[in-house]
Structure 1
Amino acid sequence: MGDVAQRERLDELERYRTELTGYCYRMLGSAFEAEDAVQDTMVRAWRGIEKFEGRASLRSWLYRIATNVCLDALNAGNRRARPMDLTAATPVAQAQLNARPEVTWLEPVPDGRVLPSTADPAETAVSRETVRLAFVAALQHLPPKQRVVLLLREVLAWKASEVAELLDTSVASVNSALQRARATLAESAPADTDVADPLDEEQRKLLERYVAAFEGYDMAALTALLHEDATLSMPPYDLWLRGHDDITGWMLGVGEVCRGSRLLPVVANGTPAFAHYHPDPEGGFSPWALMVIEITGGKVAGITSFLDVQRWFPLFDLPERLEA
């Protein structure tokens, strides 16, 4: 194969990278594992491209390879979880930060890594909805092959016959797996969140007030922005709190170290997010957390602060520090 033909084949494979990464992220719950899975997919595809006979589309062939890579990965490890998947909410008076290194935590992802550009607003809305933390967490309750079927049928809108061909099974088996997957998800259905693509004026103002309240450490103002049953979690710790009283109580107790912080807006998992920078004793602000926000009914319903900033800030191309 000549250099030009090789370049064309590589370009043809690469144009599917973002959507494949989104698929693998939903399957695996990890941005890093998803990118590794897609890279493995691309290498396998490149090695086998000469044998690709074109009976299926190139896209379908790539999804078959990516599915097999993900199934191999899932057979080798535990499902990913959020703190609320492991324990009940803790009253603030009993709250302690307990690290759970044995837990494989659900991870955040930048939208640009997993959401391909599309001119169809409805398709964009579905894509964003199905990378939300709550949705991806719910997927982790499904056996791997049910996860495949649900994603291909209900997220990517494949026909049952196409999924059956990919999995080398029957249409009846695909339909049965889809019914079981739907039933399992119904038992732990992710809460709905407001559409935020793009943010409307009310949502922008809500987030502006949130930033002002958090940076000003104004707990009365913050309480007014939170649902009564809002949640706060902080992976890799298993602690999570429910209710604005417990959340603000935590922030005025152990969380008092966050007073004087700065928030830098980003986008993660189809929802608004902030890079949280902590006051540095040596001056300026240093990375503290990636804070993913979920909005429901015009108020903040969930705050997930991912504290492993050595992983998340480079992934989101965030500054190593902010100056005063």
Structure 2
Amino acid sequence: MSLAFWITRPERSPGPRRDERACQRRSQVLRSHGGLLALLLPISAMADTALATNADGSPAGAASQDQRSLEPLNLAINAGLTYDDNVSRARDSVDKLSDESLAGAVNKVFLVPLGTSWQVLLNGFAGAEGFRTYTRLSRVFAGLHGELRYRYSNAFYSPTLATFARFQGDEYGSDLRRGYRYSVGGIIEQPVTDRITVTGTISHNQRYAKSDVFAAVDNAARINVDYNTVAGGHFYASLEYRLGDTVSSGQLTLDSIDVAKVFVRDDAFNRNDFFSYRFRAHMYFTTIGYSHPLGSNGTLDFSWRYSHVTPTEKPDFEGAGNAPYVASQFTIAYQLRF
């Protein structure tokens, strides 16, 4: 999974009717669900805290000129560098290829309250990711993420529930990978203490691509834990399980042919003996990281993401193996919010 994916993850925003002090704490903590998957996204708006009148005596709900000038734009510019030790997602060690990528994106969040308990969050994003060696893995992307969020009480420990839908288009250097994808699912966000938050997510994910090899479907469940430090930074960890389609690339073997649903000669790795094949798998992903504030609007983030993917079916000939592919990604990223 590339840097560009977590650039486009929407961060968790405070649910409707959360008290102002809690909202301010949560705006610092909730940038990390899925690790850097959310750091590079803008801070969402705080809960409504309108006074009876504004400071200049204007009616409540009509922002004064000073207030308007201080309101956040909910806009973020993001950049990050990732080292990936297995960009080919190869199961055989001789086919593992490493590379570095640089990604950047611009994100804009719109938050629309619907009464005291409901709100709609829309996050539009666009960006690009470039790889150093295997340049045809590079891409530009754009998309929209939307959530309908509900919070039945303004008590601090009240959970926030949400349903979401996400659409993203990808224009790769690799012709086989070009296409689009969507996800739908549900989220529950539960404060445990004023420093610890646990979030659970379930989702259905589908990708369409020019090649059937990269047209994949899976279902996922993820849990995230965020810990806000006294100094203002925070640690985060996530664990995700997916069941469905995935793609591996490498030289064709009897093992890979037997588990593959479909395969094609790959056009991204500059090797004539490399093929990509799609198979059904058990997929486990874990992310650990730390975010450190830089000034009032900046964040520097360090993370490690580990993937372990094993085919659900074992080759049916004697002596066949069922090796997984494993991959690690190390990322450093910076976000500037406006």
TM-score by length of 1: 0.26
- Which structure carries more strand by proportion? 2
